[in-house]
Amino acid sequence: MANADKVATVAEITDQFRSANAAVVTEYRGLTMSQLTELRRSLGADTSYTVAKNTLVKRAAAEAGVTGIDDLFTGPTAVAFIKGEPVDAAKALRDFARANPTLVIKGGLLEGKPLDATEVTKLADLESREVLLGKLAGAMLGTLTKAAVVLNALPSKAAQLVAALQEKQAAGAPAGGPADAVAAAAADATSETAEQA
């Protein structure tokens, strides 16, 4: 490889390290070109799978300020640079490695922090951001629905309280006086509302 080509390759990989949210380092020994193409397709448009010489990748990582992953660059190495959702790309790599055991996940980088192979697998086991946001929205909706039920019950409970007071006044004040009747009716209405919530 000519010196100008090496400089261009290092510059390109450096840019990929800088712009990626995460990177996963793999060993691809034994994969055919058609398998590599299938892997790239499964990773999607937000992830680029770059095969390069270890010395060039190390130099690019150093220029990008990436530390802690130099020991991963041994053997035939390819790096998946993830610009989208790291969980989705990690799942795609894990699933492809299960179907094609010659692909070995060595480790990676997430938001500047080095990951070992086990941590990349744990990342793949997480639910995607969209699923987690959906669950959060569902939980919030459930809480808001309960609050709406309680708040909607308050006017009817107040009306029942007023009606109970009117009935007691019409029947004659209890021995404890009007203040005790109001307190008893309010306590009944409050306990019923709490039970419904």
Per-residue pLDDT of the chain (197 residues; tens, 9 = 90+): 568 888 898 999 999 999 898 999 999 888 889 999 999 999 888 899 989 899 999 999 999 888 888 888 988 899 999 998 888 888 999 999 999 888 999 999 888 888 888 888 888 776 655 655 665 666 666 677 776 677 777 777 777 777 888 888 888 755 455 555 555 555 555 555 555 55
Please choose, from the candidates 21, 20, 28, 23, the residue with its C-alpha nearest in 3D space to the C-alpha of residue 96.
28
Residue 5: the pLDDT is 86
Helix-then-strand count for the chain, H and E: 7, 5
Residue 39: how many CA atoms within 13 Å on its side-chain side? 30
pTM for the whole structure? 0.61
Question: What spatial distance separates the first Cα and last Cα of the chain, rounded to whole Å?
Answer: 72
* Residue 108, beta-bridge partner list: 24, 115
Q: How many CB atoms lie within 10 A of CB 80?
A: 26
Angle of helix 54-64 relative to helix 3-19, nearest 10 degrees, comes to 50
Residue 3: the pLDDT is 83
Q: How many CB atoms lie within 10 A of CB 76?
A: 14
Element (H, E) at 79: strand 77-82
- Number of residues written out for the chain: 197
Contacts of 135 (CB under 8 A, 6+ apart): 127
